[in-house]
Structure 1
C-alpha cells in the first residue's frame, strides 16, 4: 500500500485556513475580548508553536482573519444572491437575503472587528479598506438584484438606505431575537422600494 504525501505548501495552507476559520468562530462565540491565540490554536487543532510560527501575535492573526472574513462574506452573499427568485415578490426576497446575511454569524464576527478597530490603529488600518471593498461589492450586487437604474435621481441613495437599514436590523438582532419586527419592517420597505423604483409611465 502506497501513502500519498501531502506537499508541505498544501499542508501549510490548510493549517493557516484552519487557524483563520477558528479565529472567526471564536470572534462569533467569545467576542473580541474573549478571543486569544491560545484558544484559536486549540479550536483549530494546531500546536501553539505552529500557530506562533504563522501568526506571532493576536493582531497578526486577526488582521489575516479580517481579509479571510471579507472573502467569506463575499462568497456567502454571492451564493445567496444566486438563489433569489424572480417574480412579483423579488424585492422582498432580496431584502430577506440581505437581512439573513446581516443577522448571520459571519456578520457578527465582522461586527466584533469593527468595534475593536475603533480604538486599535493597526486593526483599523486592516479593517477599513476591506470593509470599503465589501461595501462596494454589496452595493453593486444589490443594484443588480433589484434592477436599479442608478442614473435616476435618488436611486443610488435608496440602495444605500436599504443597506444601512438591513445593517441596522442586523445590529439590533445581536441584542435580542428581532425576527418578527424585522419581517414587518422589511415588508414595508419592499413596498416602498417597489413604488420608488418603478419606471415612470
Structure 2
C-alpha cells in the first residue's frame, strides 16, 4: 500500500491535537542581542497596535530601550521595517522547525499538517498577516514585502528540500503545488471563525484536507520511504543554524 495513503482516519484526530495554540512569545530571550530585542519588539507592535501605529517610539517602548538606541541600529523607520520583515520570516522558519521536530503523526502527511496547523495560528504568523493586510493600502510597505518575497520563498523551498527530499524527487512539480496548497489552506482556515461548532468543523476540514493530500499521491502511484521520525530528526538538526541570507533571486523546487 502507498505509504502516503496508508492512514487510518478512525480515531486519528484523537491522537493529534491540531487545534492547540502556542502561547505568545514576545518576551526577550536570554542572551539575544539588543538588535534582535528591537526586531522582536517591532514584530510585537505589528500584532498588538497594528502596522500603522508601529513607530520607532512605539518599538522603543515595547523593547524597553530609548528611541536613540533604536536609531543606533536602524537609521530610518524603513530600515527597521525591512529588517523586521526579514527577521519575522526567519523566526517563522525556526518555529516551524521546532513544531516539526516535536510533531508525532502516523505518517508524514499527518506530521506536516499538525505542525503547520499549530504554527499557522501563532503570533508570528499573525504578524505576517497584519503586514500583508496593511500593504494593500501602504505603497511603502508593499515595496518592502515585494523586495523580501523572493528570498522568503527561497528560504521555504530550501527548508522543504532538506525535510522532504525523497518525496520531492518522486514528483517535484506535484510537491511544489502541494506546498503552496497547504500554505494557502491552513492560513485561510486559521483566519476563519465559524459561528457554531468552530473547533469541530475545523477538525473535520483538516481530516478532509489530509485525505485529499493522500489521494493526490495515490492517484499518481507514488510512495515515499520517509517516516515522521526522519522528518522530526531533520527539523531538529536545522534548529540553531545561522539565519539563511535572503536572496533577491527567486528559486524553484
TM-score (structure 2 length as normaliser): 0.62
Match of 2:116 among 98, 101, 106: 98
- C-alpha distance in 1, partners of 2:101/2:191? 25
Contact 1:102 1:167 in 2 (8 A): yes
> How many residue pairs get matched?
184
The alpha-carbon deviation at position 59 of structure 1 amounts to 1.6
* Unaligned 5+ runs, structure 2: 1-31, 223-253
Partner residue of 1:4? none
Match of 1:17 among 36, 54, 63: 36
Structure number with greater CO (CA < 8 Å, separation at least 6) is 2
The alpha-carbon deviation at position 163 of structure 1 amounts to 2.3
Q: Residues 134 and 181 (structure 1 numbering): CA distance in 2 closer, same or farther, change over 3 Å?
A: farther
Contact 2:41 2:63 in 1 (8 A): yes
Contact 1:91 1:146 in 2 (8 A): no
Contact 2:85 2:145 in 1 (8 A): no
- C-alpha distance in 2, partners of 1:115/1:153? 29
Structure having the larger proportion of residues in helix: 1
* Unaligned 5+ runs, structure 1: 1-12
The alpha-carbon deviation at position 69 of structure 1 amounts to 0.9
For residues 48-76 of structure 1, give each alpha carbon's deviation from its aligned partner in whole angstroms, at most 9, with x where no partner exists.
11112222332211111111112111111
Counterparts of residues 1-201 of structure 1 (less than 5 Å): 14-88=33-107, 90-118=108-136, 119-120=139-140, 122-137=143-158, 139-140=160-161, 144=164, 147=167, 150-151=170-171, 154-172=174-192, 179-198=199-218, 200=221
Contact 1:27 1:109 in 2 (8 A): yes
